[in-house]
Chain A
Amino acid sequence: MNIKGSPWKGSLLLLLVSDLLLCQSVAPLPICPGGAARCQVTLGDLFDRAVVLSHYIHNLSSEMFSEFDKRYTHGRGFITKAINSCHTSSLATPEDKEQAQQINQKDFLSLIVSILRSWNEPLYHLVTEVRGMQEAPETILSKAVEIEEQTKRLLEGMELIVSQVHPETKENEIYPVWSGLPSLQMADEESRLSAYYNLLHCLRRDSHKIDNYLKLLKCRIIHNNNC
């Protein structure tokens, strides 16, 4: 899903401008998302919501992966083929605490947004493909649907945060593109299962990454590294 050309962008900007005009008495950062009746959503509230969403998404992803592995691929060494299979590995993401503390706030936020954006399409196809499967596993499908929806919300929230913290940020549309759709549609079951395994494996990892990053940023921005 390409956000760049979507009508969301324009409407979101319009809402933001109107809300900023309307809500004058919000401290510390005046923001009125979505034209809500109460224009009192602070940055802290936004981060809290984002953390809740990211935590939730990772829990869903972890459960979904466990269910899939247990049902289809356990003990069959699919993990070996999942090495270096994530499409977001091209992103220079911090891998430990020191690296995360070295990255600046703005880049950090952009990074998170890129990861989220890069997952819009794979999630969409995941839902489509699982739904079209014969004997579709209902639990996996429901979780996939939920993850897709919540990821969208998280992305919107992140974009709000970015607009608040770094309003001057130019829209960065660069994000890793997923091209694993053909693999999901392969006739060979082994290959197909491997493709699903890789997708779910990467989803679990990236959701954990986003959750950890957001918790780091929340403590850094809101609590000044004093959580």
Chain B
Amino acid sequence: MKENVASATIFTLLLFLNTCLLNGQLPPGKPEIFKCRSPNKETFTCWWRPGTDGGLPTNYSLTYHREGETLMHECPDYITGGPNSCHFGKQYTSMWRTYIMMVNATNQMGSSFSDELYVDVTYIVQPDPPLELAVEVKKPEDRKPYLWIKWSPPTLIDLKTGWFTLLYEIRLKPEKAAEWEIHFAGQQTEFKILSLHPGQKYLVQVRCKPDHGYWSAWSPETFIQIPSDFTMNDTTVWISVAVLSAVICLIIVWAVALKGYSMVTCIFPPVPGPKIKGFDAHLLEKGKSEELLSALGCQDFPPTSDYEDLLVEYLEVDDSEDQHLMSVHSKEHPSQGMKPTYLDPDTDSGRGSCDSPSLLSEKCEEPQANPSTFYDPEVIEKPENPETTHTWDPQCISTEGKIPYFHAGGSKCSTWPLPQPSQHNPRSSYHNITDVCELAVGPAGAPATLLNEAGKDALKSSQTIKSREEGKATQQREVESFHSKTDQDTPWLLPQEKTPFGSAKPLDYVEIHKVNKDGALSLLPKQRENSSQPKKPGTPENNKEYAKVSGVMDNNILVLVPDPHSKNVACFEESAKEAPPSLEQNQAEKALANFTATSSKCRLQLGGLDYLDPACFTHSFH
């Protein structure tokens, strides 16, 4: 019996339950408060999730009490936060205090309570996203453009009193990029982005966070188009430029290929060959040299008897002058026995000075009193030899500037002796270093008379001219000058040049014509082969050919030594500044000794060459 009752009861309950279930009415399920947030530390909102629906309308209520209080409160605002939410206003919000709250779901069938939630507003702070995000491309004048991002803090947040502190963060990316570029901005509300990809569309977002709390959501995306930078597009421009220039080059090459040579000649005209007016190259081929040369205006080629005219202009021998010099010299230096040796009655040489009867007498000038003057270009007079086609006066004049020390003591600029018209010996060129290439007599009293630099230049220029006329061996002999001036460092030297020509031609010599009291040495050109050579003053014996500089003594005195082996006059050229290294002093001293032995030996002759050893004079004059 009892078992029957029990089973009946159970059956009834189950039936009842079944009936209820079929009706769908149950007490509400247990709700759950799942989230509470405060956007500004002044209010906060909590949201709950309702439990299972009981099928009946359910009321929810949130009740809470706070730490340190026992009084229960109900949610003051169910609406502001939306459905299933409770919003706590300013007057209900307290910091640093725990809220204990729960939600009660009630329906006809019953109610259910959620679990208690312990909430401290301090730790649920999460602001809203920043507002008014503004993005702008700024282009400063002298810098690259940059992105200027500006925003505002969300509303309802009190930053001014310091109650709330916000920190920001921005992110941006090109539209189609995969990853964001994130920048922390601190508490500032603006930001610059300097590294940009021009020509792209950028997305920018910003968010914020309290000093202690949760990050806000990202603000809505802001789009910005970065303008294409011209400099970045240069590659396109350069590519097009390169293509254009390549096309132009191809066109030019094609044109050149077509036109060929004419274009080349247009661009690179051929270098014209030398052309002489009136010169017909065909004449050359025919071998008519006369006509050819006449066309050239070359009258003296091959050298004719006029050759002398060219060569002879360097020195001028003045008989009268010589005599003067000699006489003077004889007075002062009676021991000088060289004087008579210098008197050269030779008249056929190209002295061209007063000596020569064919020459003008106006050249016969008295030796100037100033022994230190050597070349006086102003005194130079052209030999008015009609046969002379060349005058060396310009040479004389031009050398004026080169004669700092020399003053024409011997009056005239020694123009080279003019060629004697009667002499057809083409080789009768000579150099007469007359005049007194005087050195100012210095303490040494060295007489050296020599060619000065001007004469050297003249000689050289004559040399060049001679070189044009082949077949004429010209030799210039120069006597080294003695440094006799204290203030004169450069001794006078006769530039000597080795004759480039062989000994096929007779050589020109210089002989000491005379020496004046001041040590001026006048040299006469002398012709070797001329049988009618005038007797040389002095003894023909003891003629030695001084073709070598044996040594240089102090004061740059050049000592000449006889050179029996040399047939030709060795043109030696020395400058006062150069010391001939190859010579020995011993030889020089020997030579000197020889010279001093016989004054007449100063003038030596070898093979018809007369040289004058200035060393003689050195001793003689002392």
The residues of A with any CB-CB pair to B shorter than 8 Å are 55, 58-59, 62, 79-80, 82-84, 89, 93, 95-98, 100-101, 205, 208-209, 211-212, 215-220, 223, 225-227
B69-96 vs A, CB cutoff 8 Å, 1 = contact: the mask equals: 0000000000000000000001001111
What are the 4 tightest A-B residue pairs by CB atom distance, in nearest-first order?
A: A219-B162, A95-B94, A215-B162, A97-B163
Residues of chain B with a CB closer than 8 A to A80's CB? 118
Residues of chain B with a CB closer than 8 A to A205's CB? 96, 120, 122
Q: Decide: B42 and A84 in contact? CB cutoff 8 A.
A: no
Partner of B161, one of A62, A208, A209, A216: A216
Q: Decide: A208 and B160 in contact? CB cutoff 8 A.
A: no
Given A62-B212, A211-B211, A227-B160, 17 additional A-B pairs, CB 8 A: A55-B211, A59-B212, A79-B118, A83-B100, A84-B67, A89-B68, A95-B95, A96-B90, A97-B42, A101-B161, A205-B96, A209-B96, A211-B212, A212-B95, A215-B162, A216-B162, A216-B163
Residues of chain B with a CB closer than 8 A to A55's CB? 211
- The CA-CA distance from A219 to B162 in the complex, in Å, is 5
| Any A CB within 8 A of the CB of B431 | no
B31-65 vs A, CB cutoff 8 Å, 1 = contact: the mask equals: 00000000001100000000000000000000000
Partner of A227, one of B95, B120, B159: B159
- The CA-CA distance from A217 to B211 in the complex, in Å, is 16
| CB pairs A–B below 8 angstroms (27 shown) | A58-B212, A79-B98, A80-B118, A83-B98, A84-B67, A95-B96, A95-B97, A97-B41, A97-B161, A100-B163, A205-B120, A208-B122, A208-B212, A209-B96, A211-B212, A212-B163, A215-B163, A216-B161, A216-B163, A217-B162, A219-B160, A219-B161, A220-B161, A223-B162, A225-B161, A227-B159, A227-B161
| Any A CB within 8 A of the CB of B158 | yes
Residues of chain B with a CB closer than 8 A to A97's CB? 41-42, 158, 161, 163
Measured CB to CB, the nearest residue on chain B to A85 is B67
The residues of B with any CB-CB pair to A shorter than 8 Å are 41-42, 67-68, 90, 93-98, 100, 118, 120, 122, 158-163, 165, 211-212
Residues of chain B with a CB closer than 8 A to A58's CB? 212
Residues of chain A with a CB closer than 8 A to B67's CB? 83-84
- The CA-CA distance from A209 to B117 in the complex, in Å, is 22
- The CA-CA distance from A80 to B102 in the complex, in Å, is 14
- The CA-CA distance from A101 to B98 in the complex, in Å, is 22
Residues of chain A with a CB closer than 8 A to B95's CB? 95-96, 209, 212
- The CA-CA distance from A215 to B165 in the complex, in Å, is 8
Measured CB to CB, the nearest residue on chain A to B94 is A95
Measured CB to CB, the nearest residue on chain B to A223 is B162
Main secondary structure of the interface of B (DSSP, over half): loop
Residues of chain B with a CB closer than 8 A to A220's CB? 161-162
- The CA-CA distance from A223 to B161 in the complex, in Å, is 9
Q: Decide: A96 and B161 in contact? CB cutoff 8 A.
A: no
- The CA-CA distance from A97 to B163 in the complex, in Å, is 7
Partner of A84, one of B68, B118, B162: B68
Taking the closest CB of chain B, its distance from the CB of A34, in whole angstroms, is 27
Q: Decide: B94 and A96 in contact? CB cutoff 8 A.
A: yes
Taking the closest CB of chain B, its distance from the CB of A198, in whole angstroms, is 12
- The CA-CA distance from A82 to B90 in the complex, in Å, is 25
Measured CB to CB, the nearest residue on chain B to A216 is B162
- The CA-CA distance from A216 to B161 in the complex, in Å, is 6
Residues of chain A with a CB closer than 8 A to B158's CB? 97
Residues of chain B with a CB closer than 8 A to A93's CB? 96
Q: Decide: B160 and A226 in contact? CB cutoff 8 A.
A: yes
Residues of chain B with a CB closer than 8 A to A211's CB? 211-212
Taking the closest CB of chain B, its distance from the CB of A99, in whole angstroms, is 9
Measured CB to CB, the nearest residue on chain A to B100 is A83
- The CA-CA distance from A79 to B67 in the complex, in Å, is 11
Residues of chain B with a CB closer than 8 A to A82's CB? 98
Residues of chain A with a CB closer than 8 A to B212's CB? 58-59, 62, 208, 211
Measured CB to CB, the nearest residue on chain B to A88 is B96
Residues of chain B with a CB closer than 8 A to A96's CB? 42, 90, 93-95
- The CA-CA distance from A93 to B158 in the complex, in Å, is 20
Partner of A218, one of B42, B93, B162, B211: B162
Task: Given A84-B68, A212-B95, decide whether A227 and B162 contact each other with a Cβ distance below 8 A.
Answer: yes
Taking the closest CB of chain B, its distance from the CB of A138, in whole angstroms, is 25
Residues of chain B with a CB closer than 8 A to A208's CB? 96, 122, 212
Measured CB to CB, the nearest residue on chain A to B163 is A97
Taking the closest CB of chain A, its distance from the CB of B121, in whole angstroms, is 9
Measured CB to CB, the nearest residue on chain B to A219 is B162
- The CA-CA distance from A89 to B160 in the complex, in Å, is 28
Residues of chain A with a CB closer than 8 A to B165's CB? 215
Residues of chain A with a CB closer than 8 A to B122's CB? 205, 208
Residues of chain B with a CB closer than 8 A to A226's CB? 160
Chain B CB count within 10 A is highest, among A89, A97, A98, A205, for: A97
- The CA-CA distance from A59 to B167 in the complex, in Å, is 15
Residues of chain B with a CB closer than 8 A to A100's CB? 163
Taking the closest CB of chain A, its distance from the CB of B33, in whole angstroms, is 15
- The CA-CA distance from A128 to B482 in the complex, in Å, is 114
Taking the closest CB of chain A, its distance from the CB of B534, in whole angstroms, is 111
Residues of chain A with a CB closer than 8 A to B100's CB? 83
- The CA-CA distance from A223 to B68 in the complex, in Å, is 35
- The CA-CA distance from A212 to B122 in the complex, in Å, is 10
Residues of chain A with a CB closer than 8 A to B211's CB? 55, 211, 215
Taking the closest CB of chain A, its distance from the CB of B93, in whole angstroms, is 6
Residues of chain A with a CB closer than 8 A to B163's CB? 97, 100, 212, 215-216
- The CA-CA distance from A217 to B100 in the complex, in Å, is 30
- The CA-CA distance from A218 to B163 in the complex, in Å, is 10
Residues of chain B with a CB closer than 8 A to A98's CB? 90
Taking the closest CB of chain B, its distance from the CB of A194, in whole angstroms, is 15
Taking the closest CB of chain A, its distance from the CB of B122, in whole angstroms, is 6
Residues of chain B with a CB closer than 8 A to A59's CB? 212
Chain A CB count within 10 A is highest, among B97, B160, B161, for: B161
Residues of chain A with a CB closer than 8 A to B161's CB? 97, 101, 216, 219-220, 225, 227
Taking the closest CB of chain A, its distance from the CB of B167, in whole angstroms, is 11
Measured CB to CB, the nearest residue on chain B to A101 is B161
- The CA-CA distance from A208 to B123 in the complex, in Å, is 10
- The CA-CA distance from A227 to B160 in the complex, in Å, is 4
- The CA-CA distance from A208 to B120 in the complex, in Å, is 12
Taking the closest CB of chain A, its distance from the CB of B332, in whole angstroms, is 99
